Structure 1
Amino acid sequence: MAFPRRLTVRPLIAAVALGTTALAGVAGGAIAADQDRAGIVGQFVAPGPAAVAQAGVHSSLSDMVEAVGTSVVQIQVKPDARVQQMAGPMPFGRGGAGNDSEIADRLGELFGFDRGGPLGAPQRQAPPRSALGSGFIVDASGLVITNNHVVEGADRVTVQMSDGRELPGRVLGRDPKIDIAVIRIDAKGTFKPITWGDSDHIRVGDSVFAVGSPFGLGNTVTSGIVSARGREIGAGPYDDFLQVDAAINSGNSGGPLFDGSGRVVGVNTAIFSPSGGNVGIGFAIPAKMARQVALEIARDGHVSRGRIGVSLQDVTPDIANALGLDGTKGALIAAVEQSGPAARSGLQRGDVIRRFGSTKIDDGRDLARAVADAAIGSSVPVRVIRDGRQVALNLYISSDQAAQS
């Protein structure tokens, strides 16, 4: 069993995908067909957290770990799992298109993302590979969340339960942009789901603990605190990671990050690691984002996001001076796709968007998230600075699925 390639980047942060893989795969959004999705999910409703006696800051986590442990599983991708055609590379940079920065290239190598070719272009098939990662049950019917890079290239997996049972599983769908995948356990029975926490209100300094299978060692627990919120590590336009100092290593990918009450607030996804091992800097996808994406995958088999067909850039002080702006707030339109939704709505290269509907836009990442969350087919009023004047436009939102078809 091999581990992710180690790469030391001189002054740059190297975020290492945590799945334990023999060979890095090609990024993709292949979706396994499933005829049983409808009605199996509901709202991912789970029972309330187990009552755990609190005896102060230094109380033991043992009762809480025991209560949540049966909901955490190990994901095994075996070399003979069927490999499917990949749908396209993961985009880097603000606008979803690839950029040529060294950090993006190196992150692409580490995460296993293929940056070549246009979005939606057919990619070569990923080679058969073995992988070990973690996951957690989110629905009593046997739905499991993990990372896309853990199950990438496979449509069949083995799910090992906390009691050692190995059950077959199918990949219902995946989202490379957020690095989330959903698995259905193909076995009879009722499974114990986790309880979702509130990742929007978790604070820096709050206690957290992780449960997973680092280096293939199942049922492993580590604890720490939230070190930072809203981290951007260059993985894509939707970066919004929780940074934690709990010991997270290869194989923890896709496992849950719990708050002090035993509720899931994140999905462990990447680490900063010059050495390849834990150095106390891990990154987790916030639970709110993971839950929304997983629910859509379980319901539809894929994720549809709003798009407007632009490349974005943050406003630097130099750009603000050149454009005569009163500050650096806003998202600069660096390029507009010909005949795309933005072009048809009247948006132009050099425009600076400062408000999208009721949302204030401070940078390109704000706009990317706002557009992704907007209702497809809707028309959103935006406030634009153009040639020193305010311009009001109605921006049409299309689907990124349509753009890739």
Structure 2
Amino acid sequence: MKLALFIVLVATSALPPREGVAAQACTTSLFNENGGDSKSGRLTQRVGVAFKRVSPSIVSVEGHTKQTSRPWWRKTGVIVTADGLVLCVAGGTVDFIKVLLSDGREVSGRIVGWSGQWKLMLLRLDGDGPWPHAGLGDSPGVQPGQSVIALGFREYSGQPCQSPSLRLETVTKVDSSAWLGTTGGHASTGWTGEIVFNLAGDLVGLGDVSYPGQEDDRFFTDVGLIKSLWDNLRAGNDADRELLWTAAQREEAATPFEPSTPVTPFVRDRAASATVRMRAANMESEQPWSGVIVNRDGTIVTCQHHMKNPGDQLSIALWDGQTVAGKVLGVNPISDVGLAKITESGDWPHADMGDSRRLQPGTRCLVGGYPGELEPGGPPRGSAGVVVPPSHRLFVPGSYALHVKLELPVSGGMSGGGMFDPDGHVVAVVGASNRLDGDMLYRIEIIRAQWDHLLDAKFRVLDGDAAIESERAEVRRGVETMVRSVVTILDGDEPVALGTIVGPEGQIVTRGSGLTKTPSCRLADGRISPVEVVRLSRANDLALLKISANDLRAVPGWSAQELPSIGELVAIPTPGGACSIGSVSGSARPIPAAPNDEEFPHGGFPTAFEVGVGTGPLLTGGPVVDASGRMRGVAVSVASDGWLIVVPVSAAKDALHIRDNEGQ
């Protein structure tokens, strides 16, 4: 899970720009202020104007330790005040911080405030302003189906891009003034954390929480929630401490358990009877997760990364083999906590919620849950453990989590289970795992503090088409006329890439790597033809092929020279008529590769742009097409973070030495 909140302050004297940034990093992204008469053209115009407005405020933040030459962590941040306050996803404690601005300046910064449960940090830049900033603004909030842009810095071969990348996303879930969820393909714009704006350029969220197997869905802390934390963050506080305990509790220390206090059979029995296994109703094949009943009416505390929504029906298995009905009450994907409830009447076995402050390093405890391999119909697994201090290098200092070394480590299915103190009270919920620090569990006070909100959240989910669907439909119509121009490159009977017919005499452009000694191609009508390799460009990973066949249709727009605009919707069609649609992340620029780079073994690309579709390798080699049906480039590779890398048409023609009358 990738979240945390910091405020950073910028230092008084700016450091000189990092050597080589201007030459090797990203070029300034293109944007289109003229747009066009089409819906997709007008959308591109709005995105371009918003990007131009906010991109100067987006910064890359590096946390360094004295022990390593490379950054310990990298985040994307946003300057929100003219005097240099920066919001970004929280990281670990470091010795010093560097902040790189999009104009090439590099300045130092320092951590001011943070919230671990909301995954945020506030920093201050060291230096005199005024700094370019986006401001917290007065955004009216977002609605399901609304289009937003997510900005984040990326890197290749250890070198950060100077300009942020952009992904056009759709809001899918909203919990007003707390968090929002989006979907926009697997591609990630940032190292860790993204900054989300509406199309008017107003800040709406920050973060980037996603869970394994659900990478299409991302979650961000809402700007309204950030505003509610602002005074604590700016004052330099651990906002979690202020949120999780009352003023009286903060002043009065809890009585800690003696390290020698054992976990008794009574505690084991209580934990077993209160721990439940849950899955979606009528979904027996789904991976289950765990939870703990905390009162007689059957209310259950649990995690959120099961990805269920409030109101979803559940099947809940008890320790004695009984199965009862239940439902989700509320969720928070940022803090990874949730509430559920048994909906059948009964006086349910439960464990009361305790005071996690009583557990100090050395305190014994028990963690219970149902690992996936455990057969249904029996009691949960209980693992004894001891509380340990967290590593300062891995986590921002704070109060939101406990760390424990267990005899048996937490495994899949135990998420949402409970940590029990020597009195048998629930003091934490199983969340993310970090083997270097022991298993990390979220203090029960997080759920206590959010209890009323979880029960009464104004949760909304996308029900119907997204606002951008008409623009996507326009792009799909634009590629309908060129489906016959797309071919499949074969190794025997196995597809290895796509290709594009660029000349009526059988010229085909495709990806260069992966071609066998005797390739063939399958045309859109099903015909299979042997292929002659005419020319290769290893620097661009491109190949010019030729086939002998009649009735071939060359792709329109092969002569196009102009580059697509940032945020423009484009499509990658397939011979079957389907297509994947994504948005252009930035301008064409060099994409370097280090020696022996496994990601780009051929050595990078002299010039390319990227599209956020997050698709598999079989899309490579095919055309990238705009809403008017013009070919804008050749899709040559998929980066490890999900971006499709595209060589522009003009660069492909130059690399393959294609004359204007050769590929027409």
Normalised by the length of structure 1, the TM-score is 0.50
Residue 159 in structure 1 maps to residue 99 in structure 2: yes
Aligned to 2:210: 271
Q: Is the contact made by 2:183 and 2:218 (CA closer than 8 Å) also made in structure 1?
A: yes
Q: Residue 141 of structure 1 contacts residue 189 of structure 1 at CA under 8 Å; is this kept in 2? A: yes
* Deviation larger for 283-292 or 192-201: 192-201
Q: Does 1:137 align with 2:79?
A: yes
TM-superposed deviation, 1:67: 1.1
Give the superposition deviation at 1:133: 1.3
Report the CA distance between 1:337 and its aligned residue. Answer: 4.3
| d(CA) in 2 for partners of 1:32, 1:167 | 11
Kept in 1, the 8 Å contact 2:8–2:122? The answer is: no
Deviation readout 1:333-389 (Å, 9 max, x if unpaired): 83344999xxxxxxxx9xxxxxxxxxxxxxx9886326799xxxxxxxxxxxxxxxx
Within 5 A, what are the aligned runs for 1:224-373? 224-230=169-175, 240-245=179-184, 249=188, 251-274=190-213, 279-303=215-239, 304-307=242-245, 313=301, 314=339, 316-317=341-342, 320-323=344-347, 334-337=352-355, 368-369=449-450
CA contact (8 A) 1:307 1:371 kept: no
SS at structure 2 position matched to 1:196: coil
Deviation at 1:170, TM superposition (A): 0.7
C-alpha change, 1:260 and 1:296, in structure 2 (3 Å) is same
The residue type paired with residue 449 of structure 2 is: A
Given the superposition, is the C-alpha separation of residues 207 and 33 from structure 1 closer, same or farther in structure 2, using an over 3 Å criterion? closer
Post-superposition offset of 1:81: 7.8
Is the alpha carbon distance of 1:213 and 1:294 closer, same or farther for their aligned partners in structure 2, counting shifts above 3 Å?
Answer: farther
Specify whether residues 241 and 203 from structure 1 end up closer, same or farther in structure 2 by C-alpha distance, changes over 3 A only.
closer
**Alpha-carbon distance in structure 1 between the residues aligned to 2:342 and 2:169:** 37
Alignment of 1:4-403 (within 5 A): 16-17=1-2, 58-60=43-45, 61-80=47-66, 130-149=72-91, 152-196=92-136, 201-215=141-155, 216-218=160-162, 219-230=164-175, 240-245=179-184, 249=188, 251-274=190-213, 279-303=215-239, 304-307=242-245, 313=301, 314=339, 316-317=341-342, 320-323=344-347, 334-337=352-355, 368-369=449-450
Amino acid at match of 2:205: G
Higher relative contact order (CA 8 A, sep 6+): 1
Whole-angstrom CA distance in 2 between matches of 1:222 and 1:266: 14
Aligned-partner residue type, residue 172 of structure 2: S
Q: Is residue 205–residue 222 contact of structure 2 (8 Å, CA) maintained in 1?
A: yes
- The answer for unaligned runs of 5 or more in structure 2 is 13-32, 250-292, 295-299, 302-338, 359-424, 426-444, 455-664
Cα distance, 1:285 vs structure 2: 1.2
The 1:203/1:367 distance shift into structure 2, 3 A limit, reads farther
Q: Distance in 2 between matches of 1:53 and 1:137?
A: 28
Give TM-score, length-normalised by structure 2: 0.32
Please state whether the residue corresponding to 2:235 is helix, strand or coil. helix
Alpha-carbon distance in 1 for matches of 2:195, 2:80: 11
Provide closer, same or farther for how the CA distance between residues 307 and 248 of structure 1 changes in structure 2, counting only shifts above 3 A.
farther
Question: Deviation at 1:306?
Answer: 4.5
Kindly state the Cα deviation for residue 240 of structure 1 after the two structures are TM-superposed.
Answer: 4.1
Displacement of 1:228 in angstroms is: 1.7
Deviation, structure 1 residue 251: 3.3
Deviation at 1:214, TM superposition (A): 2.8
8 Å CA contact 1:207, 1:259 repeated in 2 = yes
Offset of residue 175 of structure 1: 1.6
Query: 2:186, 2:230 → 1: CA distance?
Result: 25
Cα deviation digits, residues 243-279 of structure 1 (max 9, x gap): 33266527343431001211111103222344xxx95
Partners of 2:77 and 2:195 within 8 A in 1: yes
Q: Secondary structure at the match of 1:164?
A: coil
- Counterpart Cα distance in 2 of 1:337 and 1:251: 37
**CA 1:279 to 1:302, structure 2 compared with 1: closer, same or farther past 3 Å?**
closer
Structure of higher CA gyration radius: 2
Three-state SS of the structure 1 residue aligned to 2:131 is coil
- Per-residue CA deviations over 1:41-71 (Å, capped at 9, x if unaligned) read xxxxxxxxxxx89976534222221111111
Shift of 1:72: 0.6
Residue 386 of structure 1 aligns with which residue? none
- Going from structure 1 to structure 2, the CA distance change for 1:184 and 1:315 (only over 3 Å counts) comes to closer
CA distance in 2, matches of 1:245, 1:204: 13
Over the aligned positions, Cα root-mean-square deviation in angstroms equals 4.5
The letter of the residue matching 2:43 is H
User: Quick check: 1:266–1:285 contact (8 Å CA) kept in 2?
Assistant: yes
Cα distance 1:67–1:291, how it changes in 2: closer, same or farther (>3 A)? Answer: same
Size of the alignment, in residue pairs?
249
Q: State the identity as a percent.
A: 17
More strand by percentage: 2
